[in-house]
Amino acid sequence: MSLLDEMNEKATARGIPLSAHMDITWRCNERCVHCYLDHDGKGEMSIDEIKDVIRQLADAGTFFLSISGGEPLLRRDCFEILEFARALRFNVKLKTNAVMIGPKEAVRLRKMGIEQVQISVYSHRSEVHDAITKLPGSLRRTSEAVRHLKANDVKVSITDVLMKFNSRDAKAVKQMAEEWGVQFSIDPTITPMLNGDRSIMSLGITPAELEEIMHMEEFVGNVGEFCAPVSTVDDNVLEGYSCSAGHTLAYISPFGDVYPCVQFPMPCGSVRKQSFREIWYDSPAFAELRSVHVRDLHTCSHCTHTAYCSRCPGLAYMEGDFRGPSSRDCEKSYARTGIPSAAMARAGNRVPRAASGLVQITGLL
Partner 1 sequence: MAAMEIYPSQSADIASRTIGDDTLIMSTLDSTIFVLNSVGTAIWNAVDGKTPLSQIVHDRVCAEYEVTNEQAFADAKEFVDRLAAHGILSISDAPIPQKEAP
Which residues contact partner 1 (rule: CB under 8 A)?
A: 2-4, 6-7, 10-11, 14, 16, 18, 51, 55, 58, 61-63, 84, 86-92, 113-115, 155
CB of 65 to partner 1, least distance (A): 9
Residue pair 301/351 in contact (Cβ under 8 Å)? The answer is no
Q: How far is 44 from 171, CA to CA, in rounded Å? A: 38
- In this structure, the chain runs to a length of 365
CB of 118 to partner 1, least distance (A): 14
Q: How far is 246 from 20, CA to CA, in rounded Å? A: 10
Q: Considering beta carbons, is residue 63 or 122 the nearer one to partner 1?
A: 63
CB of 114 to partner 1, least distance (A): 7
Q: Considering beta carbons, is residue 249 or 303 the nearer one to partner 1?
A: 249
Q: Considering beta carbons, is residue 83 or 197 the nearer one to partner 1?
A: 83
Q: Considering beta carbons, is residue 10 or 31 the nearer one to partner 1?
A: 10
C-alpha triplet 259, 37, 75: angle, nearest 5°:
90
Q: Which one, of 175, 168, 179, 170, lies nearest residue 146 by Cα?
A: 179
CB of 72 to partner 1, least distance (A): 19
Q: Considering beta carbons, is residue 54 or 99 the nearer one to partner 1?
A: 54
The count of other CB atoms within 10 Å of the CB of residue 278 is: 13
Distance of CA 279 to CAs 17, 251, 257, Å?
Answer: 11, 12, 10
CB of 4 to partner 1, least distance (A): 6
289: exposed, middle or buried (Cβ count in 10 Å: 0-12, 13-18, 19+): buried
